[in-house]
Structure formats: structure tokens, C-alpha cells
Amino acid sequence: MLSLVLALIAGLLQAVSIAAPWNGQPQWWLQLLSLAALGWLVQQAASWQRAALLGWLFATAWLTGTFWWLFISLHVYGGLPSLLAVIAVLGLAAFLASYYAAACAVFSALDGINGFLRALLFAALWMFAELARVTWFTGFPWGAGGYAHVDGPLSVLAPQVGVHGIGFVAGLLAFALSLLLRKGTMRSWRYWLALAGAAGLLAACNMAALPRHDAGAQPKLSVALLQGNIPQDEKFEGGTGVPLALDWYGRQLQGSTAALVVAPETSIPVLPQQLPDGYFEALTARFAKGAQAALIGIPLGGYKEGYTNSVIGLKPGADIYRFDKHHLVPFGEFIPPFFKWFTRMMNIPLGDFNRGAIGQRPFEWQGQRLAPNICYEDLFGEELAAQFANPATAPTIFVNVSNIGWFGDSIAIDQHLQISRMRTLEFERPMIRATNTGATAIIDHHGRVTQSLPRLTRGVLTGEVEGATVITPYAWWVSRLGLWPLWLLALGIAVLAAWCHRVRSAAHP
């Protein structure tokens, strides 16, 4: 019973490590310690079934503690009864936790291996579960363990192997730490071999890491990032939130003096054909001449062709630019099969949106190539990487437009900021973020937040952003191979471990 309680506590600490409730910052050391606790518990398990249960409890607590704020969107803004909202959040966490339960079961079953290979197996199975969460059933990798290391010593690996590669190395280190709790470990050569192997891999990755340079710096671009703080329960209401949004964002767009002004996701909350007479025409005329441009979040489409969650770009002497969101949110932007009964119970403005393509062209302005992504699309670095296959057309700046207002004043705002920071480290590209309620910020190509607005306030963040052109190793291989190298690494280690286990079992029947 104690081991089950410890698994739950360790899982909650893993959630805290992504963005601490007291300051919103990642705690890399806590991620290692909590994962080490899981490694120790699984090693003590009497059977693979017990190991699976421990892994499932750990992951369920971790994931529930990470995205508990989904309750706010489902119950507070969606109108779903509180009990059903709790069940929905727990159900999602419990389902995703099954990946980690399977990983722990396989690790426990292959108990005939020791030393560094055992540490590799733990790290590989951990990464395998993380990759499954990225890919399967449209993917929901929010809160992956690697995000805890955006400020830690492992952050230097981001331009090489990305967030999931960092997770693999963290798994190695965590397993080495877990061995400290085993009786006689300090006298065992196997422990020191595992520890030396993990340290050696970390040192090799650090030696291969790119030095911190100017990343092919480009001329600076002045920006104005709009944060309207429109109340979420009024945002799509015709008598309150819609006129407020149209008035405030309209005035900021018309009055901005920055070279680029960015308005967040659905800052204009209605279709262009539903706008007051002359409103859209005035916007396009505003940026049809002069030396200013705008990127604006707005829904597009119609009944016949379908709808998209989009960003339009306006600049002098060019047709209207359009970016359509590719990675849609389940239940919010598309309804999975057999779940219409569930969405009918909520009053969130739902719909089955059309998906945009992967690798859409960037918005070119003043020598910069600006690549929009909408809301949690910046969670999928492998999809952003598609734009980096050709260095001549690769983005120089990422632009995230979001509306995290669905989740209130919660840790979701801080978690999303850490996700964006990880993308800037992986690609060595700055990111500017315009959001409805936060975090509206400018992040440089080193992952540092150079400017930001207070959350849940209405304001304009003005500053400068410096684009970059270097192609990191991660951007190079992910743009061509996707996440397959990581999948194959995890699978290769698991196959090797299974073979060694079989050989040992045959020798000692």
C-alpha cells in the first residue's frame, strides 16, 4: 500500500516540476527526483503487473496534476456538470497513463539484464511512452517531462535532440539516481557503470552542442503584441464580448506605430462576413500602404466550404496572407467519432473545423519570415520543423497566437510559456506571443523571456525582436525524418534488452 501512495506523490511532484505553482518556473531537479522515485518503485515491484499499476498511478497523478485546468473549460465555461468534468479530466489522464503503465510492465518483465543496458531500457521505454503521447489519437503531449529542463543543465541538448531526447537523457540520470536507494548499490560495479554511462552520454551531447552565438542574427523588427483580456464567458456573445473585442482590437490595430502588430487567436471572434459594414475593409485599407503590417487571429470560411481557425496577414502591396491551424483541439475544434453526445452537454462554441496543411509558407515582412502557430500547435515541434527542410525559406521568427482564457488564471499559462521557450531552444528561433489573457511575451532564440505583460490585464506589449537563420541539428533531422530516429532508438534498445533477457533465461532456466 505504501508503494502505491509513494507512486501517487511522485507523480504529483512530476507535475509540479513542469511549472511550479509558486512561481510558474520549471524545476528540473524535481523532475529527475520524481522520475527516480518511479524507477526505484518499479524495481521493487514483485511482478510486472505490480510495476504496471505503479506506473499507471504515477502517470495518472502526474497528468491530472498537469492539466487539471481542463476542468475550468469543461465546467466553468462549458457548462458540463462538475462531476462529469472531473470524470472527463481523470479519464483522459488515466487513458494516457496506460502508455506509461505498459512501459513499466515491459521494464519489469525484462528483469534479466543489469548495468548500463538496464538504465538504457528504462530511459528508452520512458521515451517510447512520451512519443506515443505525441502521436497516437491525434496526440496530447502537454506536460512532457523534458519541459522541466528548459532552464536546467540539460537545456543545452535542445538544439541537438529536442524535448523528447532530453527526456531520454533525463530517464538515464533518474535511473542512476534510483539505484542509490538499493541496498549494496554503492559497492556494485554495475551502479558505477550505469552512472558513468549516463554521465558519458551527457558529456558527449554537451561537446556536440552548438556554441551560443548570434544564430545568424537578422535586422530587428519592432512589434506590438495585443492582449485584450476579453472575459472568456463573454468572448463570443454578440451583446457583450464581440463588440468589446471589435472596438478594442480595432482601435489598437488602427493606432499602432510598430512595424508589426499581432492580435491573438480569434481576437476578431466572428467571420469576416459577419463583421459590421466597413470594418474589415477599414482594416485592410489601414495596412495597404505605409511601412506597417499585421497578423490577426480570426475564424474564416463558410457553411459550404467549412470553417478554419486562422491568422490573416495584412501588408502593403500584397494579397491577404492566410495561415490555417493544422493541429486542432479535440472537442473544441473537431469532434472525435462517437463523442457528439458528450459535446452536446456543453455550450462551448464547438465545430468540426478544417485542418490547414503542415509546413505552410511564412509571412514575409521587412526581411523576416514569420511563421504563425495557433494555440497549442507550438506543442508539436516536429510539425513546426516541416518548414525548415529548405533553409532559404525557413522561418526566422515564430509567432504564437493563443487564447488560454478557457483555463482561467491557472498554471496553464505558465506551462504554455515553457513550451514556447523549448521551441525557441530547439530551433534557435525567437518567438513572439500574442494572447488574450497571457502569457503575451517576447522570447529570444536562447529561450529567455525578454519582455512580457502581466497576465489577465488589457494592454499592448511593444518591443523589438531579432530573427535568426541558423539551422540547428534538431531542425535538420526532424524536418527530414520526423521523430522516427527517436522511435527507432527506443525500439532498438528494447529489442536488444529482450534478446539479452532471453539469452540469460536460456542460460539459467
**Which grid cell is 507?**
542460460
In eight-state DSSP terms, residue 468 is -
The single-letter code of the amino acid at 430 is: P
Q: Which of 375, 377, 383, 428 is catalytic?
A: 375
Among the options 325, 377, 382, 426, which is catalytic? 325
Cell representation of residue 112 = 534479466
Is 363 within 8 Å of 370 (Cβ atoms)?
A: yes
Does the annotation count 375 as an active-site position?
A: yes
Q: Which of 104, 235, 265, 315 is catalytic?
A: 265
CA 404 to each of CA 416, 446, 495: distance values in angstroms, whole numbers, following the listed order: 9, 24, 42
Q: Is 315 a catalytic residue?
A: no
Ramachandran region of residue 220, left (φ > 0), alpha (ψ -120 to 50) or beta? beta
Taking alpha carbons only, the member of 221, 255, 228 closest to residue 431 is 221
Residue 330 DSSP label: B
* 8 A C-beta contact, residue 58 and residue 40: no
Angle between helices 2-18 and 48-66 (to 10 degrees): 40
Q: Is 265 a catalytic residue?
A: yes
Q: What is the CA radius of gyration of the chain?
A: 24
Query: For the CA atoms of 434, 438, 442, 447, what is the dihedral angle to 10 degrees?
Result: -130
How many Cβ atoms sit within 10 Å of the Cβ of residue 256?
22
Among 210, 108, 127, CA closest to 170: 127
Contact yes or no for 395/429 (Cβ under 8 A): yes
**Rounded Cα gap, residues 44 and 50, in angstroms:** 9
Catalytic residues: 265, 325, 375
